[in-house]
Structure 1
């Protein structure tokens, strides 16, 4: 027979995100010119009482005097508190209903607002132990029942003693008054609840730190909304990924660590030992060796467009999903391209260098408008298309070449061969992908096919242009000017760098910053985390670079199994055979495959035997298996 357990919850800052009397102050002090100062004083008094710096009786007395509240304010307070229930409490509402006989609320708050809130969680008023207000003849709150032990210092200890509960007693709260119940011997285990507030004295005296109710339920092996608490899912973000990504992922409950630089292969292997999600930009190399050593890794997220730095095949073979940000910095790259086209054609860089060196050279020679000039775009993808529209608005005649049969935007004209495009263009911009076949795509032969005095812009990939051929073209005057943002070899960190293009006139060199604007990085920090969360929270792989794309809505009252396997015949049949053997009813199922892997999401609506999981993991061809919720 299982040991009886009683779960004793605090209310303020545990079941709710806030301290109720602080919220009541916001209501009662509307229009008061000293509102902000009074609220700050109430908050300070609240914290002093919670941390045991003053007696709770004193804390309550001081706050009630400052509140000047009435009975008619309480319905408004209750309405506000209903909107401020802690997120993981709300998502695990079923726990409170299923185990309501074992749940107690012991709070230094007040029954008048606690009872209506917890009633929605199937907790009756007789299992709520809290203070009660006293009102005068005008229904103004003037005090509280001073005979109630919860109005006094260490009142929770006395309250628990009076309850005389049997079996294991677990206390869950955010304050020192909750922690002392364990020290006093009236509780067997104390869980410091830190979802809403972290108090040093509380954490110091905790048996367990629980950043959410999922963690508490996981530690107790109790039914919960998700199988594995998000705080146990570790995310590592490298290379100064925008801080919004950290904010968004931590707000969703994940544990996130940031490192400002890229890591070497060996450093990465050590760092990824307990990491589930890796976020990088362009410098970190995620090799096959790294992937095979990272047993817990589920996702690699590139906070940039390119994924050449990631071994996609190794990720796929090991069940690691890869996401990137293919659109988020498009505008930034396009704006730089437009700016560089204008600067090159106006010889701005040369004139600027001259005047920096003290030379005044006011001349129109080699300075031309872009209006009416022919722009040749090589690669008509997202960036090429948007560049096409903006360049046309400047009055340029736009031509493009792409290996795919893509639809022209505006008045742009598709050219069927690269040679023809090179022949007619005054300015050529390169926007091709990182396919290895594009190495030296522009070399001596292609440069020879260009117009004399052409301008070349490369914001795509460093290996696309043969640098020696480009240098020769610039020195001979065949190419009048060039702007280069990417290089065949780029350093892993900021510092010294050399390129043969250094020092050449009318050559604009930038350190791979085409997409590096605050706006682009912010957009990427919004887009990529949303993909990470969709996969970790729901199993959705839409927009994955290396995986079959699946999207299924989240189910309620169901369990979701995620099964990644080699793309061999019969796996789905074997999965369903296991589920049928254990009489699990499938409420939703979807399989998608590509050349190498298959990915199955299965929802079942019955409590399952752990042996089912063992059997599913052992199906031949299984790469990774995960229970989502």
Structure 2
């Protein structure tokens, strides 16, 4: 950091996410019957002071009078504030430590709790300018040092004058008092910090509105932990992604837009133009046409198991990594399969429907235990294998068929053909993926090969079963029942009507694609997918990507990390290394992994790179995408 640049940073709602006196109020008023009203009063007074509608001294006096706090409660406050440091300051802790000489905290808060917090970020005690509490002999806070200019209006400007800093002075804060420093002609720029709170009266006065510290460091071309501010990374989340996923991405510092429903191809082509990360579920199709409009897209998150709704090949060609959640909803789908098998074999669905129509039909006809029955599982992946275990524990005899060699769990029996499975089993449960080859896997011919009176469960993909043939089999009595959770055509949102030839058929359970829709599964998915995307953006790790070579690496200190994605052709790695050698850049570590189409290289270097070196790396023939991580 050049010595001519000095940063003046506010504490409350800037360095930390909160107003410290609000938190002190929660501590000091704990147990007070009127705590709620008093805390709201403190917040209201704080806001009026920040906006400049009451004098700061009036604000301070009024809040301390309500607080009735003690010295012993300050340590509790410090413990609470440690957990509330702003995310972008946490991310850039190294920067703050390395440049502590030129960083000053100027706050209308109090040294008593500020110094312990900022000190952990390397900021010197003598660089902290703030108010002082006055205590009585019993340790009660009874006043503040009224001679301290920071207890008065325009106190920050007066303090800056006394400090008498040289060079360029940049002020970072969220309140009107921070703007006053610039207004007094004592700073070159005022950055309105909006990561935690946005005050229109303050942002309207700012030279630059900064949603994070990353943004400020980026536009000043200062060294940061990451080469690009996260506040500039736009994320689009469709189809009611669980709030946990939304919160995780927001906490990372990204710009996140949430759309509750799926989008058509035309809508998405327009919307995706400036999006860096998109998160979808099963109804949104990321087509070749959409990807042609995705100028900035680096990652796709499928908040589900399936990825057939994504053009993986085009994503690969454009250097876009795709991540899904292959394990997160396994248990939920398996439990639903077990429940539906029991419901079908006991005819519970129709019995319940009759009861709602005042019909009492107490009969054992067509009602069977599942114990001793033969379950045929088509697709022995994560879900099929776990269903195998649970079904066997309930007394079923399990058989399975998969195009890939899979190890049988428990006493399950692998059969050599789909036809043999269909003709052998009493219940067929489908758990295949969405590849095109699986379209109408269960067609009229295959349904005829199923045992008379068998049951079919489809919790996999809508296009796997030929629906008219299934309808005919139910009406003719060849099949005794079916349960279908997925359909060839599904509504884009809950307001669109559902249409299917299967509606109204006997012993037919229809559900709206909810196999993985449990709170547990959605929470697991919402944590897993953003975690993989953030790891990819931050470190280049591609572990669990469905279309990239899988690499998992530690975050490396004191080095720069370069990501090179290229067509899988001979000699690219040699060309990368030749460029680095030409610019006398030493390699700390290098990792290459390929698949049939692309190569993925991570290179850690110990020397600052030049723009010429970067351009040379980008210009290597076969390059798809090049990224600098840090």
TM-score (norm 2): 0.93
- 8 A Cα contact 1:389 1:410, kept in partner: yes
Query: How does 1:212-291 map onto structure 2 within 5 Å?
Result: 212-291=212-291
> CA offsets per residue over residues 362-395 of structure 1, 9 Å max, x none?
3222122222222121221111122222222322
2:599 counterpart SS class: strand
Alpha-carbon deviations, 1:214-264, whole Å to 9, x = none? Answer: 111011111111111111111101122222211111111111101122212
- Could you say which residue in structure 2 is the equivalent of 1:604? 605
Write the mapping of 1:195-214 to structure 2, written as runs, cut at 5 A. 195-214=195-214
Residues 21 and 289 from structure 1, CA distance in 2 versus in 1: closer, same or farther, beyond 3 angstroms?
A: same
The 1:169–1:508 alpha-carbon spacing in structure 2 relative to 1, beyond 3 Å, is same
Q: 1:378 matched to which residue of 2?
A: 378
Instruction: Say which is worse superposed, 112-121 or 360-369, in terms of deviation.
Output: 112-121
Which SS does the other structure have where 1:7 is aligned?
A: strand
* CA deviation profile, 1:504-538 (whole Å, cap 9, x unmatched): 32222223222223332222112111111111121
Q: Which residue of 2 aligns with 1:556?
A: 557
Partner of 1:51 in structure 2? 51
How far residue 480 of structure 1 moved from its aligned partner, in angstroms, is 1.6
Deviations 1:262-282 (A, max 9, x none): 212221111011100111111
The 10-residue stretch of structure 1 (599-608 or 178-187) with the greater mean CA deviation from structure 2: 178-187
Cα shift at 1:493: 4.3
What SS is found at the alignment partner of 1:201? helix
1:570 aligns with 2:593: no
**Per the alignment, do residues 107 and 463 of structure 1 end up closer, same or farther by CA in structure 2, a change over 3 Å counting?**
closer
Q: CA deviation at 1:81?
A: 4.3
1:547 aligns with 2:524: no
Instruction: Judge conservation of contact 1:332–1:520 (CA < 8 Å) in 2.
Output: yes
Q: Which stretch shifts more, 358-367 or 475-484?
A: 358-367
Deviations 1:385-438 (A, max 9, x none): 222222223222222222223222222222223232222211111112222222
Structure 2 CA distance for aligned equivalents of residues 81 and 520 of structure 1: 33
Residue 12 (structure 1) aligned with residue 38 (structure 2): no
> What's 1:461 paired with?
461
Structure 2 residue aligned with 1:583:
584
Q: Give distance in 2, aligned partners of 1:84 and 1:440.
A: 54
CA–CA separation in structure 1 for the residues paired with 2:352 and 2:120 = 70
Distance apart, 1:23 and its partner CA = 4.2
Q: Note the aligned Cα RMSD (angstroms).
A: 2.5
CA distance in 2 between partners of 1:615 and 1:584 (Å): 13
**Aligned residue number for residue 410 of structure 1:** 410
Alignment of 1:482-521 (within 5 A): 482-494=482-494, 495-521=496-522
Determine if contact 1:172/1:190 at 8 Å carries over to the other structure. yes
- CA distance, structure 1, for counterparts of residue 583 and residue 592 of structure 2: 21
Q: CA deviation at 1:4?
A: 3.4
1:136-164 deviation line (CA, Å, top 9, x unaligned)? 45555432332222111121122234445
Q: Which residue of 1 aligns with 2:92?
A: 92
Residue 315 of structure 1 corresponds to which residue in structure 2?
A: 315
Q: Give the stretch that moved more between structures: 310-319 or 211-220.
A: 211-220
Contact 2:3 2:102 in 1 (8 A): no
Greater shift, 412-421 or 381-390, is seen at 412-421
Q: Secondary structure at the match of 2:398?
A: strand
CA change 1:48–1:420 in 2 (3 A) is same
Match of 2:392 in 1: 392
Secondary structure, aligned partner of 1:482: strand
1:149-168, aligned counterparts within 5 Å? 149-168=149-168
- State the shift of 1:123 in Å: 4.0
Greater alpha carbon shift after TM alignment, 223-232 vs 447-456: 447-456
Corresponding residue for residue 191 of structure 2: 191
Query: What is the SS of the residue equivalent to 1:564?
Result: strand
When structure 1 is superposed on structure 2, of 107-116 and 418-427 the one drifting more is 107-116
Distance in 2 of aligned mates of 1:38 and 1:559: 51
Aligned to 2:615: 614
What per-residue deviation string (whole Å, max 9, x for no partner) do you get for residues 463-512 of structure 1?
Answer: 22223332332233221212222233334445334333333322222232
Question: Paired residue for 1:626?
Answer: 627
Which residues of structure 1 form unaligned runs of 5+? none
SS of residue matched to 1:12: helix
Q: Distance in 2 between matches of 1:434 and 1:277?
A: 23
Q: Deviation at 1:308?
A: 1.1
Alpha-carbon displacement from aligned partner over 1:194-231 (angstroms, at most 9, x marks no partner): 23333332223222222221111011111111111111
1:613 Cα deviation (Å)?
A: 1.4
Q: Secondary structure at the match of 2:11?
A: coil
Contact 1:24 1:73 in 2 (8 A): yes
Give the deviation of 1:444 after TM superposition: 3.1
2:87–2:252: 8 Å Cα contact kept in structure 1? no
Cα distance change, pair 185–487 in 1 and its aligned pair in 2 (3 A):
same
Distance 1:87 1:247, change over 3 A: closer
Q: Hey, what does 2:177 align to over in structure 1?
A: 177
CA gap of 1:199–1:412, structure 2 versus 1, over 3 A, is same
Structure 2 distance, partners of 1:383, 1:114, is: 52
Matching residue of 1:148: 148
Distance in structure 2 (CA, Å) of the matches to 1:398 and 1:405: 16
Q: Is the 8 A contact 1:3 1:168 kept in 2?
A: no
Gap runs ≥5 in structure 2: none
- Offset of residue 167 of structure 1: 4.2
User: In structure 2, what is the Cα distance between the partners aligned to 1:547 and 1:153?
Assistant: 58
Query: Does 2:437 correspond to 1:437?
Result: yes
